[in-house]
Chain A
Amino acid sequence: SQKIEQNSEALNIQEGKTATLTCNYTNYSPAYLQWYRQDPGRGPVFLLLIRENEKEKRKERLKVTFDTTLKQSLFHITASQPADSATYLCALTGGGNKLTFGTGTQLKVEL
């Protein structure tokens, strides 16, 4: 069956360090992979989209990689700040005009 896995345990890191979040998937051949940020009590907010023929995408302090052989995407936040604390969701296209979301990983950036 199709599955998207994100680490359910919270990731705690110190301010200024690089946070790395993982999204693994099975039985998908996604054309696109997206990352969203969600704060408590709010809807998800889009961050980055990467296509299957792109290995890496950057936006300010964010970097996403997409390895279709490993079936994995890594999401990096460099020089992390307490304001980066949130839950981060990856989402895949499973076909058609739909996205399937992972359960998310909570990131806590400590002073």
Chain B
Amino acid sequence: DAGITQSPRHKVTETGTPVTLRCHQTENHRYMYWYRQDPGHGLRLIHYSYGVKDTDKGEVSDGYSVSRSKTEDFLLTLESATSSQTSVYFCAISDAGSENEQFFGPGTRLTVL
């Protein structure tokens, strides 16, 4: 398996609280992605990074921010969590963008009460 971990793996939080999810890779891949997966919607891209300090929005970026200060770490922050952000969040990495396969982390299950 590609060296990619996510933390925490599970989190329950309350509406209005800030939440940060961490993705860590040991593969030195340039691209990192955050997705959310919900029944009926499949995987949807939230934000992605194409290098240190270089990020761009995905399909469902509202309410989320990201940061990448090191190659190996990509953080996803929910500034003020809402119940609609209850989901499973996956991080993925890729060596060469969309022309290469993506390797996914194990996922973080987030519940916002």
Q: Taking beta carbons and an 8 Å cutoff, which residues of A are in contact with B?
A: 31-32, 34, 41-46, 49, 89, 93, 96-104
Contacts and interface: CB of A to CB of B under 8 A. Distances in A.
A98 B43 contact: no
A46 B43 CA distance: 14
Interface string B39-80: 011111100101000001011000000000000000000000
Contact of A103 (B31, B40, B45, B106): B40
B42 A89 contact: yes
Given A103-B40, A104-B42, A34 B104 contact: no
A41 B31 CA distance: 24
B: contact size bracket: 20 to 34
Contacts, number: 57
Contacts of A99: 45, 98, 102
Interface of B: 31, 33, 35, 40-45, 48, 50, 56, 58-59, 90, 92, 94, 97-107
Contact of B104 (A31, A41, A43): A43
Contacts of B58: 98
Contacts of B40: 103
A102 B103 CA distance: 17
Contacts of A31: 98-99
A103 B90 CA distance: 15
A44 B35 CA distance: 11
Contact of A42 (B56, B101, B107): B107
B42 A97 contact: no
A98 B98 contact: yes
Contacts of A104: 42
Nearest to B49: A97
Contacts of A44: 43, 90, 102, 104
